[in-house]
Chain A
Amino acid sequence: NAGVTQTPKFRVLKTGQSMTLLCAQDMNHEYMYWYRQDPGMGLRLIHYSVGEGTTAKGEVPDGYNVSRLKKQNFLLGLESAAPSQTSVYFCASGDFPYEQYFGPGTRLTVT
């Protein structure tokens, strides 16, 4: 099993550009999550999904959109990137309600 994979690993955007981050899991998990990690801030939940076709807002959802069209994939979109969205983005999945398993991360820089 590959577990949780994220694409791409690194990306540099200019302010105003858009992009989509892809998360895929092969563990048949119901729950999927997107977090951002900033120095000194820990992990903050952006959006999450409790099943195929569902999405919900987390702690810091502004400027992001998500979609879960297939159970194994969870996409995070930035419609108009801003420098404040420079961060490391982690996807996680889980089935047992409390245990989440993380991908390797995407490092995004917005200039």
Chain B
Amino acid sequence: GQQLNQSPQSMFIQEGEDVSMNCTSSSIFNTWLWYKQDPGEGPVLLIALYKAGELTSNGRLTAQFGITRKDSFLNISASIPSDVGIYFCARTNSGGSNYKLTFGKGTLLTVNP
């Protein structure tokens, strides 16, 4: 269906550690997006993925569109305190309504200096 499973729900790490989070869906889709939300702010687009197998980096962030088109992961290397926030995956809906996104419930990341 239209559900997205995002995991983990929360992570508490030490500064300098690498982080990995992922999203899965029971259906295949054409686009995966990753957003970050700082406390008290709106979500900001980090990375957009449009092709199965695509691997894209944005600084210390790397995201991949799974080969099966049902999943995506986001890695953050060498975490720093400003990485704190909620990370959301999102994917387009199927059919003719692909301008609408469905969001995962988010991964809350806490970085201990």
* Contacts from A to B (Cβ < 8 Å): 4, 31, 33, 40-45, 48, 50, 58, 90, 92, 94, 97-105
Contact = CB atoms under 8 A, between A and B. Distances in A.
15 contacts: A4-B42, A33-B100, A41-B105, A42-B103, A42-B104, A42-B105, A43-B88, A43-B103, A45-B100, A48-B99, A97-B99, A98-B98, A99-B45, A102-B43, A105-B42
Contacts of B44: 102
Given A42-B106, A43-B88, A98-B31, A48 B42 contact: no
A1 B91 CA distance: 27
A99 to B, nearest CB: 6
A31 B42 contact: no
A105 B104 contact: no
Given A92-B42, A100-B101, 17 more contacts: A31-B99, A42-B88, A42-B106, A48-B100, A50-B99, A90-B42, A90-B43, A98-B31, A98-B92, A99-B33, A99-B48, A101-B45, A102-B43, A102-B44, A103-B42, A104-B41, A105-B40
A68 to B, nearest CB: 14
Nearest to B98: A97
Residue in A4, A58, A100 with the greatest tally of chain B CB atoms within 10 Å: A100
Interface residues of B, number: 21
A13 B104 CA distance: 29
Interface in B28-44: 31, 33, 35, 40-44
A44 B101 CA distance: 9
